[in-house]
Amino acid sequence: MLTNFLVKSIIKILNHKFYLINLSIISLTFGFFIASILSTLPAQTGDWGIISAAIIVTFNEIISKIIYCSGKKNKYFLKLLNNIKIGILYGLFVDAFKLGS
């Protein structure tokens, strides 16, 4: 009885952790995808570079303020939002390195 309970509870905890890890990886790759969209679409005309950079910086600062001033409310949603933000920043750095080489 006790061993069945322990095994079931361990499996439940591990499944929950893998679910959160999967969501984190998906949100990071979604942020990376958004970064590739943001870096290619405004560059078609050539004159939207500064405006799109200002929008991206403003978006990142607003998300950072929401995440770090909210406390413990909606912890998982804020982690996913932060992972999307990290994915966007990582994608923009990768695009910058591609352009620099």
Encode pLDDT of 51-101 as tens digits.
777 888 888 888 888 888 877 777 888 888 889 988 988 888 888 887 776
Q: What is the pLDDT of residues 31-49, one digit of tens each?
A: 999 888 887 776 666 667 7
Q: Closest Cα to residue 89, out of 45, 14, 38, 17?
A: 38
pTM confidence score: 0.73
Q: Give the per-residue pLDDT at 30.
A: 92
Give Cβ neighbours of residue 17 (< 8 Å, ≥ 6 apart): none
